[in-house]
Chain A
């Protein structure tokens, strides 16, 4: 663009005056340089993303890997003896704890979330669908520490009185976590269902299927990959959740026996002990974070790859 203008200027008789021309030309060059500079700055801010993820990986691994090597991968991952003051760093109980709480929360939040997503996309009158969408945004916006607080003063005493035990349990974690992952599941599943081509639905209805038959046999199968994405991202959210879980699950470092047993997740372990940990103990907490990080990144990659496969 600028080059054309420049050539025009050279041709134009207006700028025959040499000094004037040089002045204009310099200003033009300066503009071109400024444009280049701005583009570089913008490029660098985009590159910051890559830098950040590289730094995060580097620093967490640099802290975690040496400890895992020292303890041995086997003993670190598959041993449930966690006594950091005595040099025993086995996170198996917490690994199992994270998975137990996560899957128990998904057990009820996934079906409820998908049903609600179908309701919003297919059944609800538009006004109700829109309002429900706003309420779900609000649900997503409530901070996890508030969920933990509610869990501790409402859910935990309820479990203690109705089901026994001391209330701080897998069940309390599953109830609170389920509520927290509902918005993720509903939003993504709803978008996937809405993206199903209208013709699919119309063809099915034209063949004489009822609305519900169409939903169950045409729309949900067509939105399958999006619904799976919703479930996987919900799972990622659940497994990474910290504050709410730490407040309601009791945090003892044993493998839970049943749904009323207390449990400690990997995330809870980090936030509970980081405040006073030092040396190997601190490194072991970073190693716990590293395991969590690898887990989450794998889940994300699965979503990205399956989304790509879905597009093809």
Chain B
């Protein structure tokens, strides 16, 4: 059995073990399902009420993905701007930190005021959550490009655009993908926050409704759906990352003498 295979099996065993321990804990301690439902209970709820959960899940997925894609576009453009020179990087950085440290929950009421409750605030909250890691990472990737690599291009009389396209952006790719994996989970957080505060659709809204009727298993089912969506999207981007930036993760291959 290969090493990576073993690691995958161990990860799976850890997850299954976690649920088994949870189940056992509730069973032995006679924990009421109003406090902490058993995983088996949550799964049955999930399956039984899937038709009701599905539209909410799709809504959350939709707002998250739209916010995330807009975040990528805006993040890459801003990142290119900020990372284009050392000066721009130093000048823009404090303001970026300022913006990114505002708790996004506090922004939702303003967004609702502007765009009314529903899909638009959810998309914008997702966007505002996920855009900063992308900007910072793309900018860092560009700003830390080795000057020697740029010299190679400059003595070929390459234009700024040539250098950006052939050296800067490929060089920033590992940074970009690292930020995507962080950003996609943040985008979910943004969507769900906004849905909890002001929406009549989405997993966040579902959780609020379930909470007001003490439907604890349904709340946990909502959490499971979110976790599943998050993991699935993370996996997709990891896969793309491996394809695109394999050169930056070459740990085990030894160079030839």
On whether the two chains bind one another, the answer is no
Q: Give residues in A with beta carbon < 8 Å to B.
A: none
Q: Give residues in B with beta carbon < 8 Å to A.
A: none
